[in-house]
Structure 1
């Protein structure tokens, strides 16, 4: 900014110098010409009165053609002819600057006196009037340039000081913000930066900083709560596993080793399910988008509902042309979680529908069980939250299925909510509908579809050892 001020003021100073010099010179020459013409016109035949200057043009001389001074003003008395210029008859007046050997310069105008006006003076030769003044000091030396340079330097210094003051004044609130932020640590995120008055950039910056701190505080609270809950959920089966193994070691005669191994495998399967669900949650929360493809949601719902063998029957009502764009594996996981949850709590039947509503694809899974209390309809989507009825019906559950399902719905720009229903519980999955109808895909054999999509949740229907082998094979692929 100071550099720009220096360039601007230098250019402006040079322009002012040029204008001042030209203006002053033009003014002096104009006055000299006017004085020369007026005096020359006032000469009377037979007389050469001494001129009396009435302006700053104090050097006036009447000179003949041989350079002899006929008469002069008081200031020019005793001086030789001010100039040797002799204006011709067709160009009676000329302006110029004459400098002597002593360094003195005179700005003057030379005027050729018309012959008819001086018939009695010297009719045989022309006369010339010289009118001028000593060149002013401001034009004689470099005083104007020095004054301009001093003014430019002063202006640059003033501009630099103003910029420094303005920058300091503008940065002072930023320094206050920085100082407050330096005292905020991850151990105490409840502090906030004081909000300055007004609606300027600093106030908006503080507002954004406080909003970011609030989100960060909430994220840290969720992370801490998640860590504490995860530690508790993992510690419980690990404690049970350690107890079984210690009993087998301390009391080998009283403990059946086969029974201990079966119980240890059951606990290990629960630990494995919890870890797998935690990995899925971590991938969903990392924000890394999964590969999406056009999906016929109605056909997918009918297919997954038909795969629910045994237990409570599932009734399916599916509309045609319910197409969405998403990740097939993740949507299958959501449907399986909802179907498993509904069959676990249903009394006699589970109803599944897929259709359109308000420009969205809607999948509902409804059971005829005891339902979910209104105050618990959001809590069931929290991680490791299991209601009393759920703990009673499935003691080994991880409490992560619905949390994973909601995260998947949100990753697809959709929602997963518990809606009102006359009886039981209804889960509604809403996804953005795809307007373009995808090209029909070639049908795949039923026996190979589950193995290709690698959804490890379906291995729960297989025997333990066979499921483990198939799971390892799917992971290797």
Structure 2
């Protein structure tokens, strides 16, 4: 089972801190060792200076072991070699031993090396400084050796101390990070519980916004915007179902009434009148069902109808000619090509033309043109127009203008402009009402074909 975000974050943070602590510890230990090593060399050099000065003045004839003995510093020993390379004076701790090193620098020069020496029964690493000295009876070699064991011991102790200190430090850091991450994620958990408690009957509930303008605040804002969209969609679907039920009920009630009258009062309605009523209401039902199915397809993002190159001006001209039967039609068709589904685009233009025919007094205007990267279709009429407060709402489903049932088309399902808006959106365009005209004017915009 994969550990949670809180645990993973804590492990990563502690691991990074541990690596940083180890790197810093290594640097400190290395710097300390280098400093102590350098100090050991200087101490060994300083310890032999007094003997070197005496040899330069009076030679080594009167030197004794006490003259080169360390004064309380057991980590340092001195040995003086004569011109033959044999010891002529040594620290009591190395009395009788062979020369500590084979280095024989000329007078005025020195040689520094690290050697393992056996002194006082134990073998240790020593920093050995050999200096060539010119004096009476010379030349001589003064060897000053200082133990490096204190350097190793100090480095070991510091490493151990850092290791011991790292345990509580990393523990405290782990607890701090674990608590901090938990505190940071607490609002997220509260948001999760809140969203989990929201049902389709309570979509008006929102997630409380955390203080500040950080990522959590933006997350809560995004969740609230998503809930608002879900609430709006749910409400639209609810209204759609209610409106569709109401619209379907009207022709069904008419059919039911006509059939009951024909059955119980055959003298009140002839067979021809019954057939006429049934045909008319069946046609209304078929039109409404077709519109509902088309709207469902425009809402379905998984529906991908075949798209081809479409000449909008040809479609517009064809649909406009249909209106010449009872109206004066003005056609201004400038070539405009788009990529889309021809039947759907034809339906959108037909709905605009039918809407104009339904509300026009005597004249309909259809125009196609291009503006920048968009193909534009405008359909207008010389009717009463659309009140300003209804110009956005008119594209909603089952919305009719007040005068819709007073015109020659006999009323509509209230889905025509909603279908236009849905088809436009599926083709990357838009549909809107254009103010400033005598009568109503609707505009459909679609992206032009790229190579047009």
TM-score (norm 2): 0.78
Which residue of structure 2 lines up, in the alignment, with residue 451 of structure 1?
none
Which residue of structure 1 lines up, in the alignment, with residue 105 of structure 2?
90
Please show how residues 73-222 of structure 1 align to structure 2 within 5 Å.
77=92, 80=95, 84-90=99-105, 93-95=111-113, 96-100=115-119, 102-103=121-122, 105=124, 107-109=126-128, 111=130, 114=133, 116-117=134-135, 119=137, 129-133=143-147, 135-136=149-150, 138-139=152-153, 142-154=156-168, 156-222=170-236
8 Å Cα contact 2:105-2:141 kept in structure 1: no
8 Å Cα contact 2:33-2:151 kept in structure 1: no
Whole-angstrom CA distance in 2 between matches of 1:373 and 1:78: 116
8 Å Cα contact 1:36-1:109 kept in structure 2: no
Cα gap change, 1:20 to 1:240, in 2 (>3 Å) = same
* Residues 1:374 and 2:393 are matched in the alignment: no
Displacement of 1:126 in angstroms is 6.3
* Residues 1:50 and 2:67 are matched in the alignment: yes
Whole-angstrom CA distance in 2 between matches of 1:336 and 1:68: 121
Which residue of structure 2 lines up, in the alignment, with residue 469 of structure 1?
none
Displacement of 1:389 in angstroms is 2.2
Cα gap change, 1:224 to 1:37, in 2 (>3 Å) = same
Cα gap change, 1:380 to 1:64, in 2 (>3 Å) = closer
SS in 2 for 1:427: strand
Please show how residues 302-341 of structure 1 align to structure 2 within 5 Å.
302-308=317-323, 310=325, 312-341=326-355
* Residues 1:301 and 2:304 are matched in the alignment: no
Whole-angstrom CA distance in 1 between matches of 2:111 and 2:368: 107
8 Å Cα contact 1:343-1:367 kept in structure 2: yes
Cα gap change, 1:406 to 1:94, in 2 (>3 Å) = closer
Displacement of 1:302 in angstroms is 1.9
Whole-angstrom CA distance in 1 between matches of 2:373 and 2:53: 102
Which residue of structure 1 lines up, in the alignment, with residue 436 of structure 2?
420
Whole-angstrom CA distance in 2 between matches of 1:150 and 1:81: 45
Whole-angstrom CA distance in 2 between matches of 1:130 and 1:83: 14
* Residues 1:39 and 2:51 are matched in the alignment: yes
* Residues 1:271 and 2:285 are matched in the alignment: yes
Of 373-382 and 230-239, more deviation after overlay is shown by 373-382
Cα gap change, 1:8 to 1:426, in 2 (>3 Å) = closer
Displacement of 1:8 in angstroms is 4.2
RMSD between superposed Cα atoms in Å: 3.8
SS in 2 for 1:136: helix
Which residue of structure 1 lines up, in the alignment, with residue 9 of structure 2?
none
Q: Which runs of 5+ in 2 are unaligned?
A: 1-11
Q: Which runs of 5+ in 1 are unaligned?
A: 438-477
Cα gap change, 1:323 to 1:51, in 2 (>3 Å) = same
Displacement of 1:143 in angstroms is 3.7
